[in-house]
Structure 1
Amino acid sequence: MSNLVRFVFQSLDYDNSENQLFLEEERRMSHMGFRCLEIRRWVICGLIGFLTGLIACLIDIAVEELAGYKYSAVKQNIEKFTEFGGLSISLILWAALNSAFVMVGAIAVAFFEPIAAGSGIPQIKCYLNGVKIPCVVRLKTLAIKVFGVICSVAGGLAVGKEGPMIHSGAVVAAGVSQGRSTSLKKDFKIFEYFRRDTEKRDFVSAGAAAGVSAAFGAPVGGVLFSLEEGASFWNQMLTWRIFFASMISTFTLNFFLSIYHGKPGELSSPGLINFGRFDSDVSSVSISFSYSDAYIHRPCLQVMEAMLVAAVTATVAFAMIYFSNDCQPLGQDSTEEYPLQLFCADGEYNSMATAFFNTPERSVRSLFHNPPGSYNPLTLGVFTLVYFVLAVWTYGLTVSAGVFIPSLLIGAAWGRLFGILLSTITSSQSIWADPGKYALIGAAAQLGGIVRMTLSLTVIMVEATGNVTYGFPIMLVLMTAKIVGDYFIEGLYDIHIKLQSVPFLHWDAPPTSHWLTAREVMSSPVTCFNRVERVGRIVDVLSNTSTNHNGFPVVPGKICGLILRSQLIVLLKHKVFVERASSRLSQRRLQLKDFRDAYPRFPPIQSIHVSQDERECMMDLNEFMNPTPYTVPQETSLPRVFKLFRALGLRHLVVVDDENRVVGLVTRKDLARYHLGKDGLEELQLAQT
């Protein structure tokens, strides 16, 4: 069985090219030089944490202010018209404010940077896996992401601001570590040593972890998230640097939010969402989630769709509050931010409004900590079903938004409902007295069933609640959710990656694939160069092969090296030529700095002018090629090829015969073709691009 798929993404090169320039630079560097580089890595991680914390603080304050204005205006309007009629005016006001916020955010995403849509977690996961996603870590993407998520959350959509923090942290890390911004046309040479895919990948891992830490106040959970869900490559020192970035991130957010809330020095806001403290006791459950994707490609229609969803969300929320008769007493110790009396008696508030007439983060906290009796079962049941549908519809919109908080809110609602029903069935109030604890377990189960995280999510929930007692039951329900969920359908992020046809490589090769060999997997024939090659041929090869051809073996018969398209582009740009008649090769000397200056946006071959006379010159590739590329015999099994390719972060793997002559080349797309389907091992047929 085979399917047609179009892989349009290129790979990153996480394997250092150990050519002569690289080795010479290493020899020249003193012990103190290496120590200074390590200090710079720690400084960069500190800056990543600090800036990520500041961005999280900006998002939180902006959402609180805008949402506060919106809910205050609508609340006053509802109270004004409750007795005299005309509540339709309140509905129109609510829907109009929601649509206005969402319209502005959707316009920014749809027209200026579409890659900023969604949470960005699948894209960062792909980047760390070794896939080059265009524009995913650009400063412009960060600006649109931050602006878009503020508008989405303030616009009342069933979304959260925590997921996009992971993408935001990754963009910050990519920019800071490179010391340059093409958008701002700024270039700081202090960090130029780190301008390569390997170093950049490690810092992006730290940025993703810092984003999780800022979102949930969970630095350890951030490190584990980056390890479990993101980074494909790891080492011990990287763990400590990432933990340092995460600590700085949550401290920065905590420090500035404490000042904003008028409690400087108290440090009571470690993350964008704080679950509050829980006492001890517990129980469990699980559920799944459906994926929704918008197949609307025209930006104007995407904006209109987002506005429609915002208006419908406000209308549905208003209708549910209007028809709800769940009235609860409003005591002096009540924590309701915007209590609506509506048709309730004096001294009472509408409980349904607590769930809908609030930011999602505050709604989650109220489900966790409001005392028993704050919600009746019908309210929670209806809210769970309706909010689930809204969240599924919203996830495919062209807006910056995350799925973490909607998932937690849905799970908290049905978890609290489960606790209430259990208490009613057993009629043992002393044992099953606190439904908020079931809300916590339900929230963890719901989120785990959607994103299929286990260890990292357990630690995040434990850190966010401040109670290690819940670690075991949370881990239990997360494992159950993952096992049951994986049996029926892949996780949300995996589905998202597959829909975009990203050549993502999982941890292991598909089972039952040992019978396939490198000869059957590889791409061939392979375009090769000689050690000393004519400039005209190099230009012709680069011009006539697509940009998908990025690695070229160097062969005077047997393989003696591998050179990249990007390296050849730099050599042509700097005219590193030698006359054909010359007996000695005295071409211009380059340094690694020249290659780093061009990274990561190397110019296309069409932009480089080579005269007819220059075409007859020669280019010596010995100094610039990688003389020790990884190779495998053509009889090597697919799992061994996969393990070598995946573990080392390769972009190209050369296949040789018994005499060490090149017979093929294995790339990421060759390996991503194979997967385990319902009928066993399946091969995807690649469409021509």
Structure 2
Amino acid sequence: MGEGRADYSIAVSEEEASASDESRGAEAVDVDGKDAGLPECRICYMADNSERMVAACGCQGSLKYTHLGCLQLWTEEQGSSKCEICQQEYRPELLPQLKDAVERGQQRLQDSGGVHTVEVARYNAELQAQYRRSDRPSRNSMQGQWELLAVESACAGSSALPGCPMEAPPAQDLLLGKAPEPAGRSKRSWACRLFQKQQAPELENESLDFDQVQNRVSQARSNRQTKRRHFYGYTGHTLAKFAITASTGILTGLVAAGLAGATEVLILHRKAWLVSIIRMGPASAWPPTGLLHAYGFHIAYSITLLLLAGCLVQFWAPAAAGGGVSQVMAYLNGSDVPDLLRLRTLVAKLIGTICGVASNMAVGPEAPMVHVGAGIASVISYMQGGALLRCCWWVKERRRTGGLTLTETQGRLHSDADHREFISAGAAAGLAAAFGAPIGGVLFSMEEACSYWSARVLWRCLLAAAMATFTLAQLHPRSQAGLLSFDGRRDTMDNVDWLWQGPFFVVVSVLAGLLGALFNLLRKWLWRVRASRKAHLLRLLEVVGLAIITITTIFLLSWHFGRCVKIPDEWAEVEYGFAFNCPEGQYNDLATQLMSIPAETIRHIFAMNVDSPSSNPVLAHSHPWNTGCSATVPCRFTMRSLGITSVAYLVLMAAASGLAVPGGLFMPSIMVGSSFGAMCGLLLLRWLPVGWNVQPGVYAVVAGTAVLAGVFRSSISLVVIVVEGTRGIDFTFGVIIAVVCANWVAHHIHRDGVYESELERDGTVFFLRSEPPHALRYTTARRIMATNVVTFNEVESLTRVVEVLRGCAHNGFPVYSMDRETEERSGRLEGLILRSQLLVLLQNGIFCDAQGIPATHSSVAAEKLEAQLDAQMRSFYRVNHMHRRSRASQPDVVEHLVALQAGRLHQPAGSTRQAASDCVDSAERGQAGVAAPSIEGLYLDLRPYMHRAPLTVRPECAGPRLHEIFYSLGLRHLCVVDGRNTVVGMITRKDLDRAAGHGWWRMNSLPASIDRSQLQPRRGMSGVLQQLVASPSAFVRGFLAAPSNHSPRA
């Protein structure tokens, strides 16, 4: 079902349109604003015909149809006469100017005897083809044809407006909030396009079906399964799911070990090559030729790796860009993100993460590991059924016992609800492998990733996380439990130390939380200057440019501000430390922080002030700001280098967060926070008496946690992750202080964390937050729902089904019962049928007559056939459009359904009809069915397959209650019914998102709201007003944008 107040109507006959008009009881508004039943004013919400109604805005925005007086008061109160969507002046005279065009279209309609939907669509396609072949002057002359076509389409009772999907009148660009270009200016200035608010994006994703379909077939299957339980009451599916979960954890651990090993090899080789190049140049020469050659090599090395990663993202797997955690959250929230969990996306993610971390960019491997873990779970659970059954032999039963067939098993194991559980477990395993924190991974999945949680999901996450951590611990190159585990020996602080230093921990946590909030603000500002995702060359140039800036910054800072410090004895064993421009036996502290393995650097910062004091004379330097050390204070990094690292890494991390390169923000955030905290600890160590037992490493742990909290806004999961990752249970109190203080201060500066802001900025999904937006508190289902819902009868004609599927992109259709006495529609809701179910029925040719008697198969084989068809319906997206479900709603997918009416449908390769066709053939060989009538007389019996228990609410249901229902149950469609159980509206997640209105969280323009009273095309002018109220240029753009068909759907 289309998300939002989309048009749920299709082209209908004149008798149906007349009946529909009578049921609504409101006629269309005429061009003079005088009507028999006006829609509500969008300002005063009253249908008062005493004052003229006007269409104030060309884009049909939030003030579509208002009283002229209300509009004048509104503009005076707001202090602006511009539309908030298209930024054009309100023009109340737009509506009367359309009168002549409407009359011309009506006259043409009368002369032609009526225009039908198919003819309009064919004419539309011919105009598009002619437009592409024409030059510019010829294209301008075609504008009048498009206007007349819009009039004909509306007057014929069709919502198939020229050049736009049926659910998005009047033009796709305008519905999505895209403003037409101002008159006299074909292009906006570069500065305006650069700093303007992000427009509402085009959508090509749908929602997931977490709500299990309960129908007659599923009940019969449950009864058969109860009788056939053969192993301590189980059929084997539970054990199969257990195997999938354990395999997900093991493979995630293997992939994490490979990622760690490859990254470490590349970094160590880069370091060795840099050292050899630097030593080739004279030590005292000016300019330092060795450093210049090393600088050039480092740039070439980084650009090569980043171009490889960028090309993989831009040209092969665009969904692999960034960290991927926010997209996984959206998927678990109920949105099908295109190509998110494809195998090639995972390959590109893994290779790109290795290249990004090894290139010395400020990115980390943790967030990609969450994406990789979720992808591994998806790939395993979507394995070919044969391979899965061979691994889980106990699931397959003998056919002679009436056991499950392969298709039925696929339907049982590939439901969206089960898939959601596996994805949740994979996300937990990915984060557990990244930090060596199995409990932290489970809590992260519960607190951040999952919108739905249960005891079953908990056990799956715990098993996968434990297996991933154990596998990585056995295979890690440095025998660590996680990619970023920071275990090591530390001197603990007693309770008195925590009491006396508590205020200092609070201050450090607040300052570190401000750094996290500052990162979010800086990142949000940089979004304005980012290259478009579709501008491949600019995106790659952005990667190259930032690589040059990053390496240049690192070399300049290390050369000018770095200090040469003697290498400690324990570092010689692990080969840590980078000499850069220092003599042999010493290391450059700043270059070591910025150019070594990031996890090793963080580990050494956390371990500061642990070892005995060094004998290096630099530590006794008379300028503590330059060293941060004294003769009695051991340290590995100077105070100045720690401060420079925190500031530089913060800026570089913000710049790298939006690149076309896979990478996360956990490790850079810890680097920023730990450097800042260690610097604060050294300051306190200098200012406070020796008896205070100040440990800079502890302050580094607290500040690192605070920056993480300021960036991601996590709480409980973050505490457990840090405690598990550091193996420091003694730091729990300081970690809790850091999380609480940082979350509090960051919330007052930037309310959203990284994940929520990424989803809002991306705009291709409708993410339901855990708490309902404030605007929903003052509305009800009546104000939110989309009206004029397309419905079916229990036994529906094939012609109407095909017409509906071709004419709209919705995915759920209520089914009405039939009155047995009058054989007419009773108007009472009986169930809900999905688009995928209808496609399976049509692909298999399962037809009947008007009484529901099968026309293509024997009634003897009906039970077996229904079982296999139901299994195909449940696994439809396992076989068709697995990673881009929106394609099942596009016109080219249902074109063969039109040919089916004329008997020209041929079975495509790989169709889901195969299993059912075999069953039909065998049934026909056993006993012939009823002879098939003409195609015009064929029907579809929806009763065995429709969802018999759809959730419904009354129109008075409060907005927060609707949000709670959608969020907790993972719904896709919610029917709104009246006292007679008649559907009066439909609500989807896009309806809730639009009803939330504008707020601080909005980074995209809100799609223009659609007047519910004008959704159904009627006899009269309403369809014309929907199309022609837009400017001609916007109409043309909407016409040309039709082939992309990026329409919002459920």
RMSD of equivalent CA atoms: 2.6
Aligned counterpart in structure 2 of residue 511 of structure 1, from 774, 795, 800: 774
Partner residue, 2:247? 47
Structure 1, 644-653 or 583-592: larger mean CA deviation: 583-592
Judging changes above 3 Å, is the alpha-carbon distance between structure 1 residues 630 and 663 closer, same or farther for their aligned structure 2 residues?
same
Judging changes above 3 Å, is the alpha-carbon distance between structure 1 residues 551 and 583 closer, same or farther for their aligned structure 2 residues?
closer
Structure 1, 571-580 or 199-208: larger mean CA deviation: 571-580
Deviations 1:184-228 (A, max 9, x none): xx9995765221110100110000000011100000000000000
Work out the CA distance in 1 between the residues paired with 2:658 and 2:380.
31
Partner residue, 1:264? none
Once the 2 structures are TM-superposed, how far is the Cα of residue 90 of structure 1 from its aligned partner?
A: 1.2
1:533 aligns to what SS in structure 2?
strand
User: Residue type of the partner of 2:482?
Assistant: G
User: Residue type of the partner of 2:364?
Assistant: G
Aligned counterpart in structure 1 of residue 660 of structure 2, from 398, 422, 441: 398
> Does structure 1 residue 229 correspond to structure 2 residue 441?
no
Deviations 1:318-371 (A, max 9, x none): 111111342211132226645333444553221112111212222211211244
Q: Is the 8 A contact 2:976 2:984 kept in 1?
A: yes
Partner residue, 1:76? 276
Q: Is the 8 A contact 1:179 1:192 kept in 2?
A: no
Partner residue, 1:376? 638
Once the two structures are superposed, the pairs formed by residues 647-686 of structure 1 within 5 Å of their partners are 647-675=968-996, 684-686=1006-1008
Partner residue, 2:531? 295
Partner residue, 1:416? 678
> Does structure 1 residue 500 correspond to structure 2 residue 500?
no
User: Residue type of the partner of 2:492?
Assistant: S
2:475 aligns to what SS in structure 1?
helix
Q: TM-score, normalised by structure 2?
A: 0.62
Structure 1, 37-46 or 679-688: larger mean CA deviation: 679-688
Deviations 1:273-320 (A, max 9, x none): 121234423634122223244333322221222122122211211111
Aligned counterpart in structure 1 of residue 375 of structure 2, from 162, 171, 195: 171
> Does structure 1 residue 559 correspond to structure 2 residue 797?
no
Aligned counterpart in structure 2 of residue 112 of structure 1, from 312, 316, 325: 316
Partner residue, 1:18? 214
Rg larger for? 2
Once the 2 structures are TM-superposed, how far is the Cα of residue 514 of structure 1 from its aligned partner?
A: 3.4
Aligned counterpart in structure 2 of residue 366 of structure 1, from 596, 601, 604: 604
Structure 1, 37-46 or 125-134: larger mean CA deviation: 37-46
Q: Is the 8 A contact 2:608 2:696 kept in 1?
A: no
Deviations 1:475-496 (A, max 9, x none): 2211222222222211111111
Structure 1, 615-624 or 503-512: larger mean CA deviation: 503-512
1:29 aligns to what SS in structure 2?
helix
Once the two structures are superposed, the pairs formed by residues 317-328 of structure 1 within 5 Å of their partners are 317-328=554-565
Partner residue, 1:606? 895
1:406 aligns to what SS in structure 2?
helix
Partner residue, 1:95? 299
Work out the CA distance in 1 between the residues paired with 2:370 and 2:439.
15
Partner residue, 2:789? 526
Deviations 1:533-590 (A, max 9, x none): 00111011000002xx110000131101000011111111111101458756767623
Structure 1, 112-121 or 498-507: larger mean CA deviation: 498-507
> Does structure 1 residue 29 correspond to structure 2 residue 225?
yes
Structure 1, 72-81 or 334-343: larger mean CA deviation: 334-343
Judging changes above 3 Å, is the alpha-carbon distance between structure 1 residues 403 and 181 closer, same or farther for their aligned structure 2 residues?
farther
Once the 2 structures are TM-superposed, how far is the Cα of residue 607 of structure 1 from its aligned partner?
A: 4.4
Partner residue, 1:356? 594
Structure 1, 108-117 or 573-582: larger mean CA deviation: 573-582
Work out the CA distance in 1 between the residues paired with 2:698 and 2:1001.
43
Deviations 1:590-618 (A, max 9, x none): 32322244324355323444133435301
Partner residue, 2:331? 127
Structure 1, 503-512 or 60-69: larger mean CA deviation: 503-512
Structure scoring higher RCO (CA < 8 A, sep ≥ 6) equals: 2
Work out the CA distance in 2 between the residues paired with 1:575 and 1:273.
56
Work out the CA distance in 2 between the residues paired with 1:532 and 1:192.
25
Aligned counterpart in structure 2 of residue 485 of structure 1, from 746, 768, 775: 746
Judging changes above 3 Å, is the alpha-carbon distance between structure 1 residues 122 and 395 closer, same or farther for their aligned structure 2 residues?
same
Aligned counterpart in structure 1 of residue 946 of structure 2, from 603, 621, 625: 625
Work out the CA distance in 2 between the residues paired with 1:453 and 1:647.
20
Judging changes above 3 Å, is the alpha-carbon distance between structure 1 residues 247 and 581 closer, same or farther for their aligned structure 2 residues?
closer
Aligned counterpart in structure 2 of residue 475 of structure 1, from 721, 736, 739: 736
Once the 2 structures are TM-superposed, how far is the Cα of residue 422 of structure 1 from its aligned partner?
A: 1.4
Work out the CA distance in 2 between the residues paired with 1:676 and 1:392.
29
Q: Is the 8 A contact 1:128 1:201 kept in 2?
A: yes
Q: Is the 8 A contact 1:75 1:338 kept in 2?
A: no
Structure 1, 14-23 or 576-585: larger mean CA deviation: 576-585
Work out the CA distance in 1 between the residues paired with 2:423 and 2:365.
19
Judging changes above 3 Å, is the alpha-carbon distance between structure 1 residues 345 and 679 closer, same or farther for their aligned structure 2 residues?
closer
Work out the CA distance in 2 between the residues paired with 1:417 and 1:531.
72
Partner residue, 2:647? 385
Aligned counterpart in structure 2 of residue 542 of structure 1, from 777, 801, 805: 805
Once the two structures are superposed, the pairs formed by residues 209-248 of structure 1 within 5 Å of their partners are 209-248=428-467
Work out the CA distance in 1 between the residues paired with 2:548 and 2:768.
40
Judging changes above 3 Å, is the alpha-carbon distance between structure 1 residues 195 and 340 closer, same or farther for their aligned structure 2 residues?
closer
Work out the CA distance in 1 between the residues paired with 2:969 and 2:722.
33
Partner residue, 2:402? none
1:673 aligns to what SS in structure 2?
helix
Structure 1, 614-623 or 573-582: larger mean CA deviation: 573-582
Judging changes above 3 Å, is the alpha-carbon distance between structure 1 residues 582 and 500 closer, same or farther for their aligned structure 2 residues?
closer
Q: Which structure 2 segments of 5+ residues have no match?
A: 1-61, 63-83, 86-176, 178-199, 393-405, 499-504, 610-633, 818-826, 882-887, 903-933, 1010-1046
Q: Is the 8 A contact 2:309 2:355 kept in 1?
A: yes
Partner residue, 1:265? none
Work out the CA distance in 1 between the residues paired with 2:961 and 2:315.
44
Q: Is the 8 A contact 2:256 2:472 kept in 1?
A: yes
Work out the CA distance in 1 between the residues paired with 2:589 and 2:1007.
55
Structure 1, 199-208 or 312-321: larger mean CA deviation: 312-321
Judging changes above 3 Å, is the alpha-carbon distance between structure 1 residues 581 and 664 closer, same or farther for their aligned structure 2 residues?
closer
Partner residue, 2:135? none
1:193 aligns to what SS in structure 2?
helix
Once the 2 structures are TM-superposed, how far is the Cα of residue 175 of structure 1 from its aligned partner?
A: 1.3
User: Residue type of the partner of 2:800?
Assistant: R
1:523 aligns to what SS in structure 2?
coil
Judging changes above 3 Å, is the alpha-carbon distance between structure 1 residues 468 and 206 closer, same or farther for their aligned structure 2 residues?
same
1:559 aligns to what SS in structure 2?
strand
Q: Which structure 1 segments of 5+ residues have no match?
A: 262-267
Q: Is the 8 A contact 1:337 1:358 kept in 2?
A: no
Q: Is the 8 A contact 1:119 1:163 kept in 2?
A: yes
Work out the CA distance in 2 between the residues paired with 1:42 and 1:99.
43
User: Residue type of the partner of 2:311?
Assistant: I
Judging changes above 3 Å, is the alpha-carbon distance between structure 1 residues 78 and 274 closer, same or farther for their aligned structure 2 residues?
same
Once the 2 structures are TM-superposed, how far is the Cα of residue 238 of structure 1 from its aligned partner?
A: 2.1
Structure 1, 324-333 or 620-629: larger mean CA deviation: 324-333
Judging changes above 3 Å, is the alpha-carbon distance between structure 1 residues 240 and 14 closer, same or farther for their aligned structure 2 residues?
same
Q: Is the 8 A contact 2:275 2:579 kept in 1?
A: no
Work out the CA distance in 1 between the residues paired with 2:851 and 2:951.
35
Q: Is the 8 A contact 1:72 1:338 kept in 2?
A: no
Count of residues in correspondence between the two structures = 676
Structure 1, 201-210 or 630-639: larger mean CA deviation: 630-639
Work out the CA distance in 2 between the residues paired with 1:340 and 1:663.
71
Work out the CA distance in 2 between the residues paired with 1:191 and 1:360.
44
Once the 2 structures are TM-superposed, how far is the Cα of residue 672 of structure 1 from its aligned partner?
A: 1.2
Work out the CA distance in 2 between the residues paired with 1:322 and 1:181.
59
